Amino acid sequence: MELRKLTAGDYEACMALSEYAFQFTMTEDQLERRREEFSKHNVLGVYADGQVGAKLQIIPFQTYIHGRSFEMGGIAGVATWPEYRRKGWVAGLLKYALEEMNRNKQSISFLHPFAFSFYRKYGWETYVEYKKYKLSTSELPAKKQTPGTIKRGNPELAVLKQVYETYAARYNGSLNRDGAWWENSVYIKKGSKRAVYYDEADVPQGYVFYEVKDSKFTIGEMIHLNEEARQGLWTFIANHDSMINEVTLQAPASDMLAFQLDNPRIQQEVVPYFMARIVSVEQFISQYPFASQDSPVQIWLEVEDAYAPWNEGVWELNVAMNGTASIWKKAESEREDQHDQRIRLNIQSLTAVLMGYRRPAEMAQIGRMEGSATAIQALEKAIPHRETYLLDFF
């Protein structure tokens, strides 16, 4: 068994494994398009018996956290041939991937789990969920006249990016999409029909990607920057009422659609979605924009991380009044000090609170971090409030 980076020469073997493991078949055109993407990813594999026995890929992304763009490694395509499973190869690949991302300054990593419990063992934790809606035409929001206009068709990418980037930066964990991602993922997966809402000044304030088929209006992505745009887009959707029986979509977990309906008893489901993991405590926190403080804050973080030993240990975190942070690992001789601002937690819990998915007080209440009340309160005040959301899949 040999663990190593894979190259362009391994492409066909990797695609054969993916098709088998994830039960799909690609056309020749799709295979060629994926070949170009493969060359841009960091693909790691286990070789055994002269073939690729297991593999994963690290996709280079950027993600918004408190309005700032962070380098992120997206783990995808984790697969093993059935005859090689339960040999610990995926564990080895994940540890190798953490080392690679750490070297490449990707301080945070996301993945979509087949089982949350599996990836929690290696340090990833739930960071986002979304609401999934299904509405009949009789349940749709009431049509309202708005001062803006809807333009249906194929808007320029610059228009969509303008709306998306303003919206995505409001959340933690949304992708900072580049042009290639729009072309190769968003346009292909979100629906071929598009409409943009423009306000009276002809400024784009929202859009929807959708499909209408078999009397169903399927929303692949809907974004609105204000209430006017929300009403305008829903009126556009409701104007399809003679063609459709139902509408499906997803929205942030805090979305208030049901509350805004005359009858809030609609079909809705909260879906746990992606997981995140801090790859480097030092790199991540050094970039992290903490909340402004009345006075400087010092907290000791005792972090457990079995799969990324560079994170393991006691860290001194100092947050300045303007929210900038410095952090360094304490020497062995200093770690026994019973500092009253000391908090003990594992990398999963640290990730959940810094991503904004859970608050420090909540995590302390359920035993996911330990520390004095003053230390927990100091961390609570230092972390800004911002919801997590992710509109993409990889």
* Cα distances (Å, whole numbers) of residue 67 to 88, 193, 223, 269, 360: 38, 29, 17, 28, 21
pLDDT reported for residue 340: 84
Indicate whether 207 belongs to any domain: yes
Out of 221, 251, 271, pick the residue that ends a domain.
Answer: 271
Residue 78 domain flag: yes
Identity of the amino acid at 29: D
pLDDT, position 338: 62
User: What residue has token string 């490694």?
Assistant: 73
Q: Two tokens at 195?
A: 């409409």
CB atoms within 10 A of CB 14: 21
Does the CA dihedral 160-246-226-354 come out positive or negative?
Answer: negative
Question: For position 36, which CATH number holds?
Answer: 3.40.630.30
Which H or E run includes 117? helix 116-120
CATH of the domain at 342: 3.30.1050.10
Confirm if 123 and 307 have CB atoms less than 8 A apart: yes
CB 375 within 8 A of CB 340: yes
Q: What pLDDT, on the 0 to 100 scale, is given for residue 98?
A: 98
Q: 137 with 218, same domain?
A: yes
Write the pLDDT tens digit of every residue in 162-220: 999 999 999 999 999 999 999 999 999 999 999 999 999 999 999 999 999 999 999 99
- For the residues 354-363, what does the mean pLDDT come to? 98
Q: Which of 271, 299, 316 is the last residue of a domain?
A: 271
Q: Are residues 222 and 322 in the same domain?
A: no
Residues 6+ apart with CB under 8 A from 182: 157, 160, 161
Q: How far apart are CA 191 and CA 195, in angstroms?
A: 11
pTM, two decimals, is 0.95
pLDDT value, residue 235: 98
Over the chain, what is the mean pLDDT? 96
Strand segments, DSSP code E, in the chain are 2-5, 42-48, 51-65, 68-80, 108-111, 125-126, 129-136, 149-153, 193-198, 204-213, 216-224, 246-252, 267-272, 275-278, 297-304, 313-319, 325-329, 342-346, 369-371
Q: Do 269 and 257 meet the contact criterion of CB atoms below 8 Å apart?
A: no
Provide the pLDDT for residue 37: 87
Query: How far apart are alpha carbons 94 and 13 in whole angstroms?
Result: 20
Segment 288-298 shows an average pLDDT of: 96
Residue 333 has pLDDT above 90, yes or no: no
Would you say residue 391 lies in a domain? Answer: no
Of 6, 110, 40, 65, give the one whose Cα is nearest residue 287: 65
Note whether 95 and 8 are same-domain residues: yes
Query: Confidence band (pLDDT; 50, 70, 90) for 136?
Result: very high
Q: What stretches of 288-322 show up as alpha helix (H) in DSSP?
A: none
Share of the chain above pLDDT 90, in %: 94
Shared domain check, 249 and 300: no
- Identify whether 114 is part of a domain: no
Q: Are residues 9 and 82 part of one domain?
A: yes
Q: Is the pLDDT of residue 335 over 80?
A: no
286 and 363 inside one domain: yes
CA triplet 184, 186, 187: central angle to 5 degrees? 75
Q: Which domain holds residue 10?
A: 2-106
CB contact at 8 A, 204 and 163: yes
Residue 243 sits in the same domain as residue 302: no
In a domain, 392, yes or no: no
Residue 196 lies inside a defined structural domain of this protein:
yes
Residues whose CB is less than 8 angstroms from the CB of residue 20 and which lie 6 or more positions away in sequence, other chains included: 79, 81
Average pLDDT over residues 14-29: 95
Tens of pLDDT, residues 301-329: 999 999 999 999 999 999 999 999 999 99
Number of domains in the chain: 3
pLDDT tens digits for range 9-20: 999 999 999 999
Name the pLDDT band for 6 (thresholds 50, 70, 90): very high
Of the three residues 237, 271, 305, the one that is the final residue of a domain is 271
Nearest to 142 by CA among 243, 262, 265, 266: 262
Q: Are residues 78 and 149 in the same domain?
A: no
Same domain, 135 and 264: yes
Q: Does 371 share its domain with 248?
A: no
Asked if residue 226 is part of any domain, the answer here is yes
Q: Are 115 and 168 in contact (CB under 8 A)?
A: no
Q: What is the pLDDT of residue 258?
A: 98
Q: What angle do CA 277, 103, 80 make, to 5 degrees?
A: 60
Say if residue 155's pLDDT is above 90.
Answer: yes
Q: Is 352 part of any domain?
A: yes
Confidence of residue 1 (pLDDT cuts 50, 70, 90): confident
The answer to whether residue 336 scores a pLDDT higher than 80 is no
Same structural domain, 265 and 162: yes
Rounded to an integer, the average pLDDT of 243-252 is 98
Kindly state whether residues 141 and 219 are assigned to the same domain: yes
Task: Tell me: pLDDT of 348 over 70.
Answer: yes
The first and second tokens of residue 232, run together, are: 């305008």
